[in-house]
Each structure stands twice: as structure tokens, then as C-alpha cells.
Structure 1
Amino acid sequence: MNFDYFREVFVEYLQIEKNASPYTIKYYLDDLNTFFLFLEKEGISDLKEVDYACIRVFLTELYDKKLSRRSVSRKLSSLRTFYRFLEREQIVEQNPFLNVTLPKMDKPIPEFLYEEEIEKLFTVNDVNTPLGQRNQALLELLYGTGMRVSECAILKIENIDFSIGTVLVLGKGKKERYIPFGKYAEDALVQYIDDGRKQLADKGSSPTNSLFLNARGTSLTARGIRTILNDMVKKAALTIHVHPHKLRHTFATHLLNAGADLRSVQELLGHEHLTSTQIYTHVTKDHLRDIYLKTHPRA
């Protein structure tokens, strides 16, 4: 069998039917290439020859390379999807990966900022300057909505609806969702759009409707957002590492700690499955335990 051919048609399937992002496709290809190299080394030239015993040998090699359980699990999941595609196209009769158990993974508690830490970040920006206004609006929006940095970087001015206090976000798989934002984010956005953004836009060589601009007047990138947050942390003299996703974790954790229900937080985060949101309950259990120990007569 021509492995290159199957690699190409699988990528087409991911792009056209699954609407997968380039980032997702890259990981699928990495996993597929690892498997194809293993098959060539084992002298297996037909994808129909892959069986349970062959997969166990493949897994042994992955563990011998000191791969984490998360990495092994991802590779198995990728190959299961690949063989499901082959089965649908009637290239193979059955999916040999269906009977392979995914390794149990540790579920680390998401890192988040305490309220005192997040409050310090809100005091470091000079809102009398264009960049300070932008940074304040950026921080307020990320923490106030829990959106992903990739979603934030592609926001347009027209995505903000001040009349009802919502932002239209384009998430994974090009799925749209509306997220409400509060008064603090509204004030910061209004000041930035009416003042700082106009000054930044004047520095650009061509008009743009991107919401967040860099010092040259062009669209701010996801990498630029990460750099801005790191600078804020240094100014606040915090001995922590803050990445945009930590603000997302903080958003979800603070909502659940304050009594928000899991389904609502799932919708706000844009999670397809509730299990993705449930990782935050590990954090809130500590909060509930503290309340119980402080308030229950027999605690």
C-alpha cells in the first residue's frame, strides 16, 4: 500500500469534512508518520495487516521512548480516527484500534489566579496611553469572557455589541458563540476604541477592522498577546507565570466558586463536551470543603 496516498486523502477528509484546524492536522500527521515509520520498520506494507498484537508492539515502543501517557493516548486516538476513516472508505474491514484501551491519564488541576493576584494586574496599565488602554481592554476582555487567545486575536470591532453587552466569538471548528461581558470590560473597551485604537490605527499603512492593534497599527497576534501579559506580570511584580489560558482557567474557576452551574460555564467556554468543563470542579471542591469546615457545626 502507498502510505503517502492514504496520508493525503486522510488530510483532505480532515480539512473538508471535519473542518479541522491546521494545528490539529499537524498533530494528526505527526502521529500518522510515527505509525507509518513503525510499520516500515516491522516490514508491514499493508494497513489491513495491522492487528491487536501489532498495536501492542507499537505501544511498547512508544513507552520505551519515555512518551507520556497523554502523548500515547493522543496517538492512539489519532490512529483510531484514521482507521475509522479507512473503514468507512472500505479500505479495511475493521478498526483494530477499537479494542485498544487508552491509557488512563492524570488530570492536573488547572492553574488559576487568586482574586488578589488578578486585581494587581488591573493596576499596572497606564490608561492615559494608547497601548495602556489597549492592554487594559485586552486584560478585561480575556478575564471577563474566558475566551481563548486565538479567539481574541481574530476579533473585529463589529464583533462587540455594546447595546446588549456581548461579544461574538469564532471558536474551534468555526463555531460561533456569544459571550456576555460586564461593566469593567465595557468601560475599558469604550475608552480603547474611542481613543487609543484610533491613535494606533493612524500608524498603520492600511485600514483594518481588527479590534486589537499593535504599536505599528496592524493586527495584534496571539504571540503578541502573550508578550503583553508577561509584561503586565513583571510590572505587577508577581512571581507567577501568566499565559492567556490561565486567565481562561481563572474565569471558569471564579464563576464556579461563586455558584455558577457547570452547563452555563460550558456554554461560555465553548466546550463541546461537559467533561472538558468538569476539570474545574476539582478546584471548586477545595473551595466547598473550606466553606464546610468553617460553617458546619459538626465539621
Structure 2
Amino acid sequence: MDFSVAASAFTEHLEKVRRLSNATVRAYRSDLRDLGVAVGDAQLHEVDLETLRGWLWRATQRGDARSTLARRAAAARSFFSWAQEQELIDVDPSLRLIAPRRGRTLPTVASQEAMKGLLDAQRAAAESADPIAMRDHGMLELLYGSGIRVSELCGLDVDDVDLDRATARVLGKGSKERVVPFGAPARLALGAYLTRSRPALLARSSTTTSGLFLSTRGARIGSRAVYTLVAEVLSPFVGAETVGPHALRHTAATHLLDGGADLRAVQEILGHASLGTTQIYTHVSAERLTATYRLAHPRA
């Protein structure tokens, strides 16, 4: 079978059968497209281990990050494992394919004092009754208060939020639904937004939408607008130039653990499929504790 035909069938399988997220499918498609260039006119069964090693070596030579190499090796292994299961090939050439280990980098996290300062400033701006300021305040309180992903925030409908119970029903990765709690500040900000801001924004559009958060033109807000907002307001507080909504998710998780939350409870709130993914935040908390000790203890 032609390599490109098999790769297309595989990504369709990921999308329709395994129901992976659009971002994950795009990453697999991109990696396999790059591999297809290295394979050239060879048929699927003609691809061997040396071809795959040469592909990764060339990626190394052009300066691809270790995380990119690891992801591409994983994509190749998943693809050829699937191809063997489908009896498209007899031997899986990727079984002995080894890529550099991903370097562990701890996520960017804002301090509790920084988050208080940021959100206090946003609340003060929202008191002007400006619809955009009220919307931004509601989004930031909800992102930090619940730890949801930016895609989950943008996908929320009005009916997904229960202000009485202070919960939101979100659709996460793999179309998995979960209910997440949020605190009183987020409930107040959302209540004000829904009552006074959202109707004003909706009036700017000729069509209606069920989306919770709306753009300046009255349509469902997109992730790029949220990224722009978070980068603008959060960067000064964390001392990083490139920071996005995920930093608020990291911050929420770390502050939960700092406050004594159970690791498995944090896993449920964040919607992580694996506890190992959540454990990265225990390292963040440990580093913060160590830094505090070294600054404060006379015998540190």
C-alpha cells in the first residue's frame, strides 16, 4: 500500500474511532506528512528501521527540539503498530526506534499574591460596566477558579454553567465530559457578565449563539482572543514574555496542591487521563516549598 494512503487512513481512525482531539490528530498528520517526505516513493512495507532512524537524524540536524523528536517517534510507532494490526505490513519497523527522552520542564506558575493582584485589577476594571472588561474578568476568574483548558472555556454554552451550584459542565479531550467546581469570585463575575455584559455583546451580532463567552462582535469567542488576553494581563506577573491560558491551569493545579488537595481530586478536576500527568504539579509545589525554606529558614 502507498504510504500516504495508509497515513490518511490512520489519521481518520484516530479522529473517528479513537476520537482524539483535533489538535492531537493535526500533530499526528503533520508528523506523518514529514515522514512521508523522507519515505518518498517507497511503499508502506518497504519502510524499514534505517529509514526511520535517518528521518529522526535529519530532524536532529535541522535543530528540532527533543520534545518534537520524541513526539515524532511516538507518532511513527503508533502508526506502524496500527498498520500491523490492520495486516497492511508483516513486520513493524518502528519497534526498535528510539528517540531522545523529553526534557522535563516545569510549567509556568504565578504566585497566589500575583493572582490576587491580577484579579483585583480585573474586578476594578469590570466595575466600569464596560462589557469587554466584564467578560474578561469572568473568563479569567473561571480559568483560574476551575483550571479548565482554553478549548473547554471557548466551548462552553450558557446552559453549561450552574451558578447556584457553582459548577460548569465541560467537554474535554476525547469528548469526555466532566463537571468542574469554581469559587465564589468566579460565580459573582459570571453572574455580572451574564446579566449585564453578554446581552450587550450579543446585540452586536445579527445572529444568536449559545456560546457563553462572546467576542466583540457578538459571536462565540475563539481561543486566539483568550490567548491574547491572558498574555497581556499575566505576563507582567510571572516575568515571562510568552505565557498563555495554560499557565492559569498550571497555577490553579499548583495552588490546589499547595492548599492540601488530594492528587486524585486534582486529576479529576483537570480531566487528566493519567495520574502521571497530574504529578508534575507535585514537583512544582516541592520546588516552591524548597525555595521558601531557603529564603526563610535561618539554617537553610
Query: Does the alignment reach a TM-score above 0.5?
Result: yes
The Cα of 1:159 is off from its aligned counterpart by 0.4
Q: Secondary structure at the match of 2:29?
A: helix
The Cα of 1:214 is off from its aligned counterpart by 1.8
Identify unmatched segments of 5+ residues in structure 2.
none
Output the amino acid matched with 2:25: I
Output the amino acid matched with 1:178: V
Q: What is the aligned partner in structure 2 of residue 209 from structure 1?
A: 210
Q: What is the aligned partner in structure 2 of residue 72 from structure 1?
A: 69
1:257–1:287 CA contact under 8 A, matched in 2: no
Aligned pair count reads 295
**1:91-240 residue pairs with structure 2 within 5 A?**
91-122=88-119, 123-124=121-122, 125-127=125-127, 128-233=129-234, 240=240
Q: Deviations over 1:37-90 (max 9, x none)?
A: 2122xxx72322333333333332222222111111111111111111111110
Q: Distance in 2 between matches of 1:94 and 1:268?
A: 41
1:107–1:279 CA contact under 8 A, matched in 2: no
Output the amino acid matched with 1:39: V
Q: What is the aligned partner in structure 2 of residue 15 from structure 1?
A: 15
Call closer, same or farther: CA 1:13–1:176 in 2, change over 3 Å.
same
Task: Give identity over the alignment, percent.
Answer: 36
**1:49-88 residue pairs with structure 2 within 5 A?**
49-88=46-85
Q: Distance in 1 between matches of 2:152 and 2:182?
A: 15
Q: What is the aligned partner in structure 2 of residue 262 from structure 1?
A: 263
1:171–1:177 CA contact under 8 A, matched in 2: yes
1:253–1:283 CA contact under 8 A, matched in 2: yes
Root mean square deviation, CA, Å: 2.4
Q: What is the aligned partner in structure 2 of residue 28 from structure 1?
A: 28
Q: Secondary structure at the match of 1:38?
A: helix
Q: What is the aligned partner in structure 1 of residue 249 from structure 2?
A: 248
Output the amino acid matched with 2:113: E
2:149–2:246 CA contact under 8 A, matched in 1: yes
Q: TM-score, normalised by structure 2?
A: 0.90
**Which deviates further from its counterpart, 239-248 or 201-210?**
239-248
Q: Distance in 2 between matches of 1:2 and 1:52?
A: 18
Q: Deviations over 1:186-243 (max 9, x none)?
A: 1111111111112222222122221111222221111111222244358x78854441
Q: Distance in 2 between matches of 1:149 and 1:66?
A: 29
**Which deviates further from its counterpart, 141-150 or 241-250?**
241-250
Call closer, same or farther: CA 1:120–1:240 in 2, change over 3 Å.
farther
Q: Secondary structure at the match of 1:207?
A: coil
Q: What is the aligned partner in structure 2 of residue 90 from structure 1?
A: 87
Output the amino acid matched with 2:90: E
Call closer, same or farther: CA 1:82–1:298 in 2, change over 3 Å.
same
2:6–2:44 CA contact under 8 A, matched in 1: no
Output the amino acid matched with 1:82: F
Q: Secondary structure at the match of 1:255?
A: helix
Call closer, same or farther: CA 1:178–1:295 in 2, change over 3 Å.
same
2:201–2:214 CA contact under 8 A, matched in 1: yes
Output the amino acid matched with 1:182: G
Call closer, same or farther: CA 1:215–1:168 in 2, change over 3 Å.
same
Q: Deviations over 1:5-55 (max 9, x none)?
A: 213222221221121333222221221122222122xxx723223333333
Q: Distance in 1 between matches of 2:291 and 2:255?
A: 15
Q: Deviations over 1:263-291 (max 9, x none)?
A: 11111111111121111122111234357
Q: Deviations over 1:110-158 (max 9, x none)?
A: 0011122212211142332222211111111000011111110111010
Output the amino acid matched with 1:113: A
